Homo-oligomer: A and B are copies of this chain.
Amino acid sequence: MKDVPYKIYLEENEMPKAWYNLRADMKNKPAPLLNPGTLRPMTADELAPVFCDELIAQELDETTPMIEIPQEIRDFYKMYRPSPLVRAYCLEEKLRTPAKIYYKFEGNNTSGSHKLNSAIAQAYYAKKQGLKGVTTETGAGQWGTALSMACSYFGLDCKVYMVKVSYEQKPFRREVMRVYGASVVPSPSTETAVGRKILEAHPGTTGSLGCAISEAVEVATTHPGYRYVLGSVLNQVLLHQSVIGLETKAALDKYGVKPDMIIGCAGGGSNLGGLIAPFMGEKLRGEADYQIVAVEPASCPSFTRGKFAYDFCDTGMICPLAKMYTLGANFIPAPNHAGGLRFHGMSTTLSQLYHDGLMEARAVPQVKVFEAAEEFARVEGILPAPESSHAIRVAIDEALKCKETGEEKTIVFGLTGTGYFDLTAYQKFHDGLMDDYIPTDEELAKSIEALPKVDL
């Protein structure tokens, strides 16, 4: 089927003009976020000091299926989108599989990942509301980079709290953010009350995502003209990321290709939620069926070993509660180089879909993930991010199964980003210093037992 080119690019006028809001087609809606004080659903008013108004509206909108992408955002998308949908001819040949493999590559922009799709939307609405700037946290640095780029474009001030250990170990990520004019602060810092409190209690701490979130939220809510933004988990982020899936579907439709299986890595769920959105929509509406697979690290197995329950989104337990598959807010994943897949919970939307049996999940160990990453890099040319490589692992495994059974399955996976800033992990892999960390049942039971008791 060489009629399909190596890379399918949509024309500019074929690019999506609206995002798809998957929740509109869900019969069982994701459970609402709860106010941690009252344990009642968060209202728009309660969210207003933290988030931009328009983003709150998107967060709470469960009924509008298509939400128009403002022209300014579409113009920015044109700088780095459409991203290519690649037919992995070389990988297929290497594996000698009858499967047809496609991947949607989101790494061809300076943030190195899909994060830019939501960053530019969030920055746009902040600008439109007349705000001065936004605050956020970043771990591995992809989200912080994406947000810096977006804020630079709209002339917004951007303050990034970067987990101290990453700030020190990933000076290059920090430097990219500086190119885009962001102010990057190692967290915990002495700039915030919560940071000072943590530093006093734990003088030598190298920080955590939970702490960085708390600092970013504190600054946003105590400085007029600022709001807090977040790069994953939230419904609004999945909404913006639907551009990935919409482009993927449009590209496949152009060539009359119908996938059998759609695979994506899952940390907070934003890339997966975006990639599968229009396909899941068809499934929900009974128009088509697809096998949809979330891939998570065995070291942080929210879907496969977590509990579907209300939990805090942050380790500081100050943010709203979300009903999701969770390992418990005080679960600390063992060192794991897929920085984007270390969240203890999962998007509420994806959690509900998984709970309803509409998608499946697999957990894969890290060394196997890097083996797949290297195999992929050598034949397809792209050095994948460790996060993305989780999806590659399962795509290869499935293609090899097809080789045994002779099935000509069409497999689509999300290649969310590049690994240019993850070479320390590759080095560990090559030097045989990479371990597979898998939490014990006892460990998980302990953090899951500590879940808040919530009864709606």
User: Which chain B residue lies CB-closest to A78?
Assistant: B6
**Quick one: which of A177-208 are within 8 Å of B by CB?**
178-181
Partner of A79, one of B109, B178, B380, B383: B380
**Quick one: which of A357-381 are within 8 Å of B by CB?**
374, 377-381
Task: Tell me, in angstroms, the Cα distance from A171 to B420 when the chains sit together.
Answer: 12
Chain-B contact segment, one of A229-237, A266-274, A423-431 = A423-431
Contacts of A382 in B (CB 8 A): 109-110
Partner of A7, one of B6, B78, B421: B78
In contact, B179 and A383 (Cβ under 8 angstroms): yes
User: Which chain B residue lies CB-closest to A151?
Assistant: B378
In contact, A179 and B374 (Cβ under 8 angstroms): yes
In contact, A175 and B5 (Cβ under 8 angstroms): no
Task: Tell me, in angstroms, the Cα distance from A5 to B9 when the chains sit together.
Answer: 13
**Quick one: which of A279-299 are within 8 Å of B by CB?**
none
CB distance from A382 to the nearest CB of B (A): 6
A255 at the interface (CB under 8 A from B): no
CB distance from A85 to the nearest CB of B (A): 13
Task: Tell me, in angstroms, the Cα distance from A153 to B171 when the chains sit together.
Answer: 32
A108 at the interface (CB under 8 A from B): yes
In contact, A423 and B5 (Cβ under 8 angstroms): no
What class of interface size applies to chain A in its complex with B?
Answer: 35 or more
User: Which chain B residue lies CB-closest to A6?
Assistant: B78
Task: Tell me, in angstroms, the Cα distance from A374 to B381 when the chains sit together.
Answer: 28
Q: What mask results when residues 1 to 41 of chain A are scored 1 for a CB within 8 Å of chain B, else 0? A: 00001110101100000000000000000000000000000
**Quick one: which of A380-395 are within 8 Å of B by CB?**
380-383
Task: Tell me, in angstroms, the Cα distance from A89 to B153 when the chains sit together.
Answer: 13
In contact, A423 and B153 (Cβ under 8 angstroms): no
Task: Tell me, in angstroms, the Cα distance from A153 to B93 when the chains sit together.
Answer: 12
Task: Tell me, in angstroms, the Cα distance from A12 to B180 when the chains sit together.
Answer: 34
Given contacts A171-B427, A172-B423, A179-B430, 9 further A-B contacts (CB under 8 A): A6-B79, A80-B381, A175-B427, A176-B420, A176-B426, A178-B427, A179-B426, A180-B378, A420-B420
Sorted nearest first, the 7 A-B pairs with minimum C-beta distance are A6-B78, A172-B423, A175-B423, A5-B12, A420-B420, A152-B378, A110-B383
Task: Tell me, in angstroms, the Cα distance from A149 to B149 when the chains sit together.
Answer: 30
Task: Tell me, in angstroms, the Cα distance from A90 to B153 when the chains sit together.
Answer: 9
CB distance from A133 to the nearest CB of B (A): 16
CB distance from A38 to the nearest CB of B (A): 42
Contacts of A11 in B (CB 8 A): 5
In contact, A383 and B176 (Cβ under 8 angstroms): yes
CB distance from A410 to the nearest CB of B (A): 20
User: Which chain B residue lies CB-closest to A373?
Assistant: B179
CB distance from A249 to the nearest CB of B (A): 19
Task: Tell me, in angstroms, the Cα distance from A180 to B180 when the chains sit together.
Answer: 31
Task: Tell me, in angstroms, the Cα distance from A105 to B355 when the chains sit together.
Answer: 45
Q: What mask results when residues 133 to 176 of chain A are scored 1 for a CB within 8 Å of chain B, else 0? A: 00000000000000001001100000000000000000110011
In contact, B179 and A377 (Cβ under 8 angstroms): yes
Task: Tell me, in angstroms, the Cα distance from A380 to B78 when the chains sit together.
Answer: 11
Contacts of A380 in B (CB 8 A): 79
Task: Tell me, in angstroms, the Cα distance from A145 to B379 when the chains sit together.
Answer: 14
